[in-house]
Amino acid sequence: MTTKRFEKDMTQEKGVRQEPGEPFKRIEVDVAKKMIERGGVQVVDVRRPDEYVTGHIEGSTLIPVDDLFTRVGELSETDDLIFVCEMGVRSALACEIAAVVGRTKLHNMEKGMKEWISRDYPIEK
């Protein structure tokens, strides 16, 4: 039994996990930062506008989670999508919504902007 658990852990990338039944990967802030630096991603901030203006990831697209269904045309159909919010809860919901409308390559940034800012990663105001 220990061997199977070890094998499963060895197949997972550090800082990335996917829960059974979820159509998205949960990524740590460090992984998100590396993906953004590498390119080929769209960062979607699903917080409210009043939260977004206090600081957001440079180049991110603001689409509040409540507006996502009506604005799905703004989501890339080819790039990786990284959804962010304050703590990682609304962004997980956004990933589910994006999956329903046919998007793939979905990533939820765990611990959200709170963690991003605590690491002194760059923000734009």
pTM: 0.89
What are the residues whose beta carbons fall under 8 Å from the beta carbon of 33, sequence distance 6 or more? 116, 121
Element (H, E) at 6: helix 2-10
Give the pLDDT band of residue 13 (cuts 50, 70, 90): confident
Nearest Cα neighbor of 87 from 68, 63, 114, 105 is 114
Nearest to 35 by CA among 4, 60, 63: 60
- Average pLDDT value for residue range 50-65: 98
Specify whether the CB–CB gap between 42 and 49 falls below 8 A.
Answer: no
Contact 4, 19 (CB under 8 A): no
Q: Which residue has the higher pLDDT, 10 or 78?
A: 78
Q: Which CATH number applies to 23-118?
A: 3.40.250.10
